[in-house]
Structure 1
């Protein structure tokens, strides 16, 4: 199935970033707006308490599930915002590495933010996303 998302890179911008700086989808693409994927277990408990990498992995797993329910996958994501409850850059980087590795070659435009608190008890990571698919 053809993909709707086209990642855009610019040689005029730094190549240090591990993601494309922009992405597009054609006008006939169906957009999927995801609620923030949280590191919650099926029973509602927070997974991997105190573990930034573990929570990032669970959030990605839950994002995959939500995307699948909408008829999409990680390769259909057009942008993400990764929220990490920490003021320490190394905690942000720990979560980011998990998210970045999950996307593989699909280096979707992303924003990584340190925030003071997230919505669930013991929550350290949340991933927002938008996806685009071509329905046949």
Structure 2
């Protein structure tokens, strides 16, 4: 199935960033606004306590599940925001590298932010996303 998201890179901006600077979707795309994906298991308990990479991995897994429930995939994501409860840049980078690797070549525009606290006990990472898909009706028989 063709993807609705087009990633845009600018030769006039720094090539240090590990993501596209912009993304577009066609006017007929269905936008999917995902709640922040948290590092929670099926029972609602925070996993990988104290582990930025482990929590980022669970956030990605939970994001993939939410996307699938909306008939979308990680390749349909148009932008992300990664929230990390730390003032230490190394902790932010640890979480970011997990998210970056999960997206692979689909390096969507993203914002990485250090925050004071997140909503669940022992939560260190949260991953927000917006996706775009074009739903095609099956052809009608003649």
Instruction: Place the TM-score, normalised by the shorter chain, in its bin.
Output: over 0.9
Query: In structure 2, what is the equivalent of residue 66 of structure 1?
Result: 66
Query: Alignment length, in residue pairs?
Result: 136
The Cα offsets for residues 40-64 of structure 1, whole Å up to 9 and x where unpaired, read as: 0000100100000000000000000
Runs of 4+ aligned residues of structure 1 deviating over 3 Å after TM superposition are none
Secondary structure class of the residue paired with 1:90: helix
Shift of 1:101: 0.1
Unaligned runs of 5+ in 2: 137-142
Shift of 1:15: 0.3
Which structure's CA Rg is the greater one?
2
Shift of 1:128: 0.4
CA RMSD of aligned residues (A): 0.3
The Cα offsets for residues 14-34 of structure 1, whole Å up to 9 and x where unpaired, read as: 000000000000000000000
Query: In structure 2, what is the equivalent of residue 104 of structure 1?
Result: 104
Query: In structure 2, what is the equivalent of residue 14 of structure 1?
Result: 14
Secondary structure class of the residue paired with 2:114: strand
Query: In structure 1, what is the equivalent of residue 140 of structure 2?
Result: none
Query: In structure 1, what is the equivalent of residue 139 of structure 2?
Result: none
Aligned residue runs from structure 1 range 25-36, under 5 A:
25-36=25-36
What is the distance in 2 between the residues matched to 1:44 and 1:103? 25
TM-score, normalising length: structure 1: 1.00
Query: In structure 1, what is the equivalent of residue 55 of structure 2?
Result: 55
Query: In structure 2, what is the equivalent of residue 124 of structure 1?
Result: 124
What is the distance in 2 between the residues matched to 1:84 and 1:77? 20
TM-score, normalising length: structure 2: 0.95
Are residue 87 (structure 1) and residue 112 (structure 2) matched?
A: no
